[in-house]
Each structure stands twice: as structure tokens, then as C-alpha cells.
Structure 1
Amino acid sequence: MDRHAWKPFLQRWSQEWRIAHPDEEPDGEPWLGCPPATEDEVRALEARLGCVLPPSLREFLLVTNGWRHAGNFVWSLRGTEEIGWLADLEPMWAEVYADEEEGDAEPAAARSLLISLEADAGVVYLDPGDVDERGEWAAYDVFSWTAMGPERHGSFSEKMYDFYAGFHALDRPRCETQREWDAKVEDARLASLRGEVERPLTVFAQAKRFGRDRASFLHFQMRTLLRQEDDDPFDRLLTSTDTRSWTLDEDLFAAQALPLLFAAHDRARRFGSGSTIQFLWERGPQRVKHLLGRYQARRKEPGFRLCFGNPEFDAAAHAALDAGDDAWPRLRDALACWRPLHEDHLAPIALLADPRAARLITQERGRELLATRRG
């Protein structure tokens, strides 16, 4: 990213930060940066370090010689006078993470450039030993309270974009960026129903980073059918009422997600582990506990049978699963009968609550279903 791209990006960030924090510095300019560094100041920094700075950091400093509120837990970034080697400025951090790196003649932490000035028990640094074809150095941030190791990003500009997305996810400013992502999510939803797979997955994943909760649910449905979902978003979507950017339809949740969650809960109980259902029983709002209790009571009724969706699809899907060796082609053909139960319904994920369908629908077959025009 050059300085001509940095300037509008940082201006938008500053304006949106002011929207989210109207009572902080109300009389100041909507700018989180500092005056730009001069070429001489940047050259003096490079001479002091004995190396050329990576392009995106160099161009950044020529737009703003420092930055405030870089991330949710990074309060400021260093300017040309403060940037230096991690081992010199924060030797404790360099030693701790050098000890954790194995098989590296010179551990990244020991050779890295510290760019954060104030952070919540953490540091942000760039690794001059991990350089791409553009000359960009990999960027890391690490915080002692996360109990996780350093998180890698391909460059300083990628790390800053990640900070920007994290600001949106936490502070949720009502602004043009939110509206742009919501429009992209709606376009990706329609594309998914037309049978596109990769582009909607990418859009939903990116929108999730910006706190767009609708994208989390849509992404969950696609990944569920692809058998790739390793966690679900419902503890956040159903409990964080003050910061949600979208409200999950309770009827859709009960019809399509609850069967999956109860099936996962049954498996977790066999292994003595926790589950989303357990979490919602313990910490969910009363209206959610009511949904859980109602569905749990239905499961105990004589003759209870999973419902996979709209009546035509439900009947065709059950007939397919009862068909033995012909189950898969018949289930695939049944998709022609499927209709979304709600505008946020992308795929018949309740199928996977049935052990027969769960065995039948592999990753490849799930992708085949998603690649079919639906509804």
C-alpha cells in the first residue's frame, strides 16, 4: 500500500472511530494519526536500523508518523523516533517468544522490529527474516493474556487492515463501511442460492471479521454443508444483544440449527465435553431457553421425526434416506423441491442432524449440493 492509498484508508478509519467514540476528543480533528514523517526522518530511521524499511511501513510513516487506537488492545504505534529492535526495547518479549520458537537459528522475536508503543500487555512487531517478493516483512501481534502465540500477517498493511476489521467487530460504528459490507453480504447470499460457492464463502468470511452477524450465520450454513464447520456462532448471536448488527430469526434457528446443536450435544455428552446447548442452557436469555425446552420436549414425543425443511423437500428427503443404496441420487434430486424457510436460509443444514444423512453427505457431496441452484 502506497501513501496515496494509505491516506483515504486512514481518514475513513479516523472518521469511523469518531462515530464510535463521539465523547472522546470532541473538539479535535477526526484524525488518529500524527503529522507525516519527512523523507529525511525515514532515511535517518533506516540508517539507525541498518536496513531499508518494508514498503507499506515506509509509506505509512510518510503519511502519519505514528498512530493512535491501532487495535482494540493497541493504543498507539511508534513513529520514526521510537521504532527500534524488539530485543533492545522490550527484551523480555524477545526472550519469551524466542524460547518458544524451535528449529530457527535466529528466532523471529529476537530479530524483529518493534512498532507498537502502548498496548495491553502485548507487542506488535515485524520480522525482517520473513520477507515476501514485494519486500514486505511478516507482521505479528501477541498478548500475554490470550495464552496464544504470535499471530502472523503477511505485511504491516495486512496487520493494519486486521486491526481496522477488529475495531469494526468490537465497536460497531454505524457508517458507510458497515453498509457496504451488508450490501456485499446480500449479493453473496443471492449468489450462493444461484449455486456459487467460493465467492460467497470468501465474502461471508471477510464480513464476519467486520462484525456483520448475518454473515456469520450464512457462513455457518455453507460450511456446515461442506462439513468444515469447527465451531458455531450461536453463543454470540443469541446472547450479545447490545452489540448485534442483525437479529437471527428464532423460527429459522429452531427449525434448522437446533436439530444440529442437539445432535452435537448428544455426541458431546457421550465424551463428557461441553456443547453450545449446554452453554445456552446456562447463560442464554430466557427466550432462548424457551426454544431449547420446547424443542427438547418435542424430541421426547412418540413418533418424533426430524423435519428437514419445507413440506415438499422434507417428504422427498425422508424418502431418499429410506431408499438404501439409492439414497444419495434421490437426496440430490430432492433438492429441486427445497425452498428457503426465511431469506437468511441458504441450505438444508438440518439434514446433517440425521445420522444417515451425516454419513451420506461428504465434503464433495456437500459442495455438489451448494453448487446446485436452490430455491
Structure 2
Amino acid sequence: MTKTTAFDWRPFLLKWSGEWADAQPEDETRDEDDEAARRARWLGFPPAPEERIAAMEERIGRRMPPSYREFLKVSDGWRHAGGFVWLLAGTEGARWHNNESELADLFEEYLDEDAGPEERVEADIWRRGLQLDVESDVTHVLMDPEDVDEAGEWAVYTWASWRAEPPERHADFREFMREMYREFHSLRANGSEKEPEFVNDTTQDLDALVAEARLEALRGGWEGALKTLEEPKDFGRPRAAALDDQIRHLLGQTVAVRFEGLVTDRRYASELLPPLVAEHAKHSYRDDATLMFDLRGADKDVVALAHATLDQVRNGTYRYTAAGPFGEAVERARELARWGDTDGAWRTLVDALPRWEPLGPDHLVPLGWVADPLLGPLLTPERGRELLSVPRGGQPGEAQEPAAGLDPGGLAWLAEPDPSNSRASYRFVLVEGAEPQEVPTRLADGDSAVLDEPLSLWEARRRSRDGRQEFSSFDDRALMAVGRAGTGWSFAFDDDPAPFDRRRFVSPAAAASGGTRAVVVWSGLREWRGEPFFHLSVARDGAEQYAFTYADGEVRSHGEIPRPLDPGRFFGDPEDITAVERSLLEALTGEFGACLPRHAIENGRLHTFTTRSWTRPPQDGETYAVIHVM
């Protein structure tokens, strides 16, 4: 049998009692027992002799677990175990619960028919548990004689209905008491102004750990900082949770991240409010009560800033700014991101981070940028770890290896499934030697040639349909995102095109190629709505040079097609038609040297515009449908 390490209860209980006594206001009215405990600096009772413990075990019918037995030898019961158990049982008060509260019946109502042993614990504990709470704020403490480890220790379960959480398990009585000690500290750490200042050897040691973790985090040692913060955070030390939250938010662990104690501080609000309200906006719709709960204690200026930032985040107009060289890098990164170079934008931010200046001593890392509609999509958990590993804020440290870029380069990634596995067809235009903002003038007329604000393709499609009242089967105007397609090229991309009709299709390559070269690709080799197809056309100076279209099982082409792009190399086996997509895209990359930015197209926000129709007007005798939406 494995033996547990001996635990000296008396020093632990004496320290707890002394800290509790010092935390009591002198002029507070207390009952006689509590006042005696304060004066004696002892929350316990006289030790229980072996005979009394043995008598208890005979009454209960079981030998007590080792840690509880040793506790009784030091104190036969305990007052104020945490904040909600006012009296904990000794040898006289412990008793079998026997579903006295009828909570077993309540928990059983929520069990499925196929519930396993682990799920049944929540119900069964109320029938077989040994009850230790004597006086409490509707808080139950039960030891489970069936949940026993190799050392003979019984697990302890605590539950309070007002917490709306399942029973909490503690490995043994010693761990339960340690948790109650931490709970006492956590509650006192955020006490009212009427209470004495809560400072003692324990709090000073914990605050020293917080200071150590802060410096460790700024040096890039975020993993060690998280570990160092665990104990101060459990004890509720001010700043510990807010420092921990800053690290975890960049790791994608955003649940219950509140930056408590810092987000309401004017010094830090401009950096910590944006990620807080962005996460709130993501999971709520116009119900801001939970946000105001997170901002309790904030002054009116911080609350006003929170509401203004929330409106900007919801409207997509929030723009992150920062001071100094890092702020200048933010502007450069935004410019790169809005044209699709998300890898370049990320490197710009990371390279500038050593020159970043914190807003105050508890500011560990820039965070406001994650709410920026252009910069936020740059973040992944891997990139978050990279950012946290960079020494910053004037602290020394070794630079880490950069994270791998998210864009694979080239065009072949289009042959892979997209995140929603819905991209069966797509089309794009490449224009050589043109800036992205020039592309719309080559593919659209009038107001349609004006770029819309950066949006995800899904958001852009939804907005383009809002208020639209007429839809024509002959009118195929494409909503396309624009950006840079590597060195010397710009692109326009549509990830949800209309059905392809070779008889009516008109390539925009010639119109896009004035004074330069343009490439048009429309692929539906994985199309589930009809037969697979693929089109390529290349034009220079307003005239189409060559093109081919694979549809209905055959290839039609004209012009002198370069050998690497010869359709005969790809469409020889009709049984394996979808396998040629990657080969075609790789050949196009080799021929033109252009690429499309995968991360920006699938996860980022890009400028969009609406092209001219990709189909010719109807001819005499051709019918088509026009749908009017009232």
C-alpha cells in the first residue's frame, strides 16, 4: 500500500487561525465563540484523544481516513472552514447523510438511463456520504467511503446549490482543508474597506511570486509565469488573475477571462477593454448585463469607453492604436493584412514587439489588437505562444524561433478542403503589375468599382444580399475579394460562384489585361451540383492569348497554350478527374509565379467589390428568369 507523506496539522492550523484573527475588525459584533477564537487566535477545539476517535469509529461503523484522523488528534472540529462552512464536525458531529436532504433524488432526475458510475457519483454521494458540515451557508461537505485511494484516504465532496455547479471533488480531507484555507484567503483578499488590511507572511510570499511571474512573462517565459501564478491566483491575490488572463487570452483560452482588477483601471482600459468586449460580442447579442458585471467597480469614463468600444467592435469599425515604434508597426501590419499578406503582417508585429512599451507595471503584452477586424484574424494559439515568447517591456531574454507561416504559397492549397468543407467551386482573376485597388476598375463599372470595407467573404456576401430585390439567371456579377497575389501580382477571388454555363460564359481576362497580363481560373472539379469543369484563360494588352475549358467530359481550347499548361497532360483519365486539380494549380503556380493568401481568404477580412457579369446578355429566343423580392 502506498503511504502518503505525513502532514503536520498544528502549524498549518495555527497559521490559519492567526491570519483569521488578524483579519477581524476590532469593532465588529461577533458571537461569543467567535470572539473567544479571535482572542485565543485558534479556530479549533481541544485535541480528540484516541479513545474518543475510536468511539466515533465504532458509532460510524468505519475506520476514519488517515488525514481526517490526524486532524482530529490536533483539533476535534473546526470553525470557519473557508467562507461558507461555519462549523466543521469533529468526533461528535460527523454522521451518515442518508439522503437527509433528498438531494440524491434531485440529482437522479438529471441522469440518463445509460449513466455510468462516474456520472452516478453526484447522486449516490448523498446516500452513502459521511456528513461533516454542522453549520453552513447551505454548503454540504461529505466524505465518500466508496471513493478511496491506495492510502485509505476518502475523497471529500462539497456542494452549494447557490453556486449552480456540480459537486466539487477533493482527493482527501487534507486537500479539502487546504482548499478552504485558500478560499478564506481569496475572500479576504478582496474584502471591504471596513476590514483590516489583509497583510501577513502568506500574502507577502504570494505577492512576491506575482512579481516574479510578471518579470518572467516579460522575459518571454510565459509557461513558467503561468505555473508561478497558479498559487497566488488560487489564493485570490490582487493582480494574479489579471496577469494570468493576459497570457491565456493569447493562447485562445478566453473562457472566464475578465482581467479583473485591471480592466477597470484607466491606465489599462484601452488595451484590456477591446479583447473583453470582443469576446462578449462574440457570445451575446445586445444583452450587455454580463459585460457590466465584469466591469463592476468601474468609473463612468471606463464604462463609457466600454460601450463605445463594444459598438465599434459590433460595427467592425474598431481600430487598434499603440504608442511608439510598436504603434508604427501596427499601422504597417494593418496595411499588409488588408491586402492579404497576413504572414507579413504577423512578422511585422512580432519583430516590433521588443520595442513595445507597457501602459503600467501590470501590463504584460499588447492585447487590444485582437479586437481589430484586420489584425485579430492574425492570431492563432501557435502565434499567441510565439508572441508571448518574445522578450519585451525592456526585459532581457533570448529570441525564440519564429512560428511557421500560415500561407503555404502558390495555388495548390485550393485543391484542399476549406474549414467548412463547402468550397466545391471557386474562381479568381490574377492581374500582373497592378495594385489591388486598381483591380476593380478593370473588372467593374461605375459605383461597383469602389472597394467595400474589409470583411470576411461570408459577411460580404450577406451584406450584398441585404436589400437586393432583383436576381437574374443571366446576370452573374461576382462578389470578389481583392489583395496581393505575391510579388508582382494582384488577385480578385470568389469562393462561392454561380453555376458554370460554358455556352454563356464570357472570360473577363481580356478586359482585365489592359497594358499588362491577366489570368482567369474557374474550377469546379469537385462540383457536386453538376458535371466537373475547369476553365483557364490568359490575356495580354486587352486580347486573349490562349484558353481552354474542360466541361462535359471534353476539352475545348484555342491559342498557343504553353506545354506546362497543355490540358492534354491533365484530362486523360475521366475516372480520376478531381485528382488533376492540384496538378493544374501547381502548373499555374510554376508558370506565373503568383499565389493566393489562404489564411486571409479563409479567416481574414479583405476589401470586396462586385464585377461585371461573367455571362453574355441573352440572345433572341433565349429565356431566363428574373426574381423580384418585395
Count the aligned residue pairs. 360
Mapped to 2, the partners of 1:48 and 1:279 lie a distance apart of 49
Shift, 1:211, TM fit:
2.3
Of 323, 326, 330, the residue aligned with 1:313 is: 326
Mapped to 2, the partners of 1:2 and 1:67 lie a distance apart of 23
Tell me, yes or no, if the aligned pair for 1:125 and 1:141 is still in contact at 8 Å.
yes
Tell me, yes or no, if the aligned pair for 1:2 and 1:59 is still in contact at 8 Å.
no
Aligned partner of 1:225 in structure 2 is 250
Q: Which runs of 5+ in 2 are unaligned?
A: 190-197, 394-630
Of 92, 99, 106, the residue aligned with 2:102 is: 92
Mapped to 2, the partners of 1:15 and 1:118 lie a distance apart of 22
Instruction: Tell me the amino acid that sits aligned with residue 10 of structure 2.
Output: K
Tell me, yes or no, if the aligned pair for 1:56 and 1:136 is still in contact at 8 Å.
yes
Of 237, 242, 251, the residue aligned with 2:267 is: 251
Helix, strand or coil for the counterpart of 1:118? strand
Of 263, 274, 278, the residue aligned with 2:278 is: 263
Aligned partner of 1:13 in structure 2 is 16
Mapped to 2, the partners of 1:197 and 1:54 lie a distance apart of 39
Mapped to 2, the partners of 1:328 and 1:293 lie a distance apart of 29
Mapped to 1, the partners of 2:280 and 2:308 lie a distance apart of 16
Of structures 1 and 2, the one with the larger relative CO (CA 8 A, separation 6+) is 1
Shift, 1:47, TM fit:
3.4
Shift, 1:16, TM fit:
1.0
Which structure features the higher share of helix residues?
1
Mapped to 2, the partners of 1:374 and 1:274 lie a distance apart of 34
Mapped to 2, the partners of 1:134 and 1:330 lie a distance apart of 56
Tell me, yes or no, if the aligned pair for 2:258 and 2:276 is still in contact at 8 Å.
no
Deviations 1:173-207 (A, max 9, x none): 33222211111100111111122223321333432
Shift, 1:359, TM fit:
2.2
Matched, 1:125 2:147: no
Q: Which moved more, 1:163-172 or 1:181-190?
A: 163-172
Q: 1:280 to 1:178 in 2, by over 3 A?
A: closer
Of 274, 288, 292, the residue aligned with 1:274 is: 288
Q: Which runs of 5+ in 1 are unaligned?
A: 239-246
Shift, 1:127, TM fit:
1.6
Tell me, yes or no, if the aligned pair for 1:86 and 1:93 is still in contact at 8 Å.
no
Q: 1:91 to 1:268 in 2, by over 3 A?
A: closer
Identity %: 40
Shift, 1:227, TM fit:
1.3
Aligned partner of 2:261 in structure 1 is 237
Of 169, 172, 192, the residue aligned with 2:217 is: 192
Mapped to 2, the partners of 1:345 and 1:10 lie a distance apart of 36
TM-score (norm 1): 0.84
Tell me, yes or no, if the aligned pair for 1:268 and 1:274 is still in contact at 8 Å.
no
Q: 1:83 to 1:175 in 2, by over 3 A?
A: same
Q: 1:231 to 1:280 in 2, by over 3 A?
A: closer
Mapped to 1, the partners of 2:222 and 2:289 lie a distance apart of 28
Instruction: Tell me the amino acid that sits aligned with residue 18 of structure 1.
Output: A
Matched, 1:34 2:50: no
Larger radius of gyration: 2
* Pairs within 5 Å for 1:282-321: 284-292=298-306, 305-307=319-321, 309-321=322-334
Aligned partner of 1:244 in structure 2 is none
Q: 1:187 to 1:51 in 2, by over 3 A?
A: same
Shift, 1:115, TM fit:
1.3
Aligned partner of 1:140 in structure 2 is 157
Q: 1:47 to 1:277 in 2, by over 3 A?
A: closer
Deviations 1:7-50 (A, max 9, x none): 11111111111112244416731100011112232233333333
Tell me, yes or no, if the aligned pair for 1:72 and 1:167 is still in contact at 8 Å.
yes
Which structure features the higher share of strand residues?
2
Deviations 1:295-328 (A, max 9, x none): 68999xxx97311x33211222332343304233
Deviations 1:318-358 (A, max 9, x none): 32343304233333323232232211110111121123433
Matched, 1:168 2:193: no
Of 188, 195, 203, the residue aligned with 2:228 is: 203
TM-score (norm 2): 0.52
Tell me, yes or no, if the aligned pair for 1:268 and 1:275 is still in contact at 8 Å.
no
Q: RMSD over aligned Cα, in angstroms?
A: 3.1
Mapped to 2, the partners of 1:12 and 1:116 lie a distance apart of 22
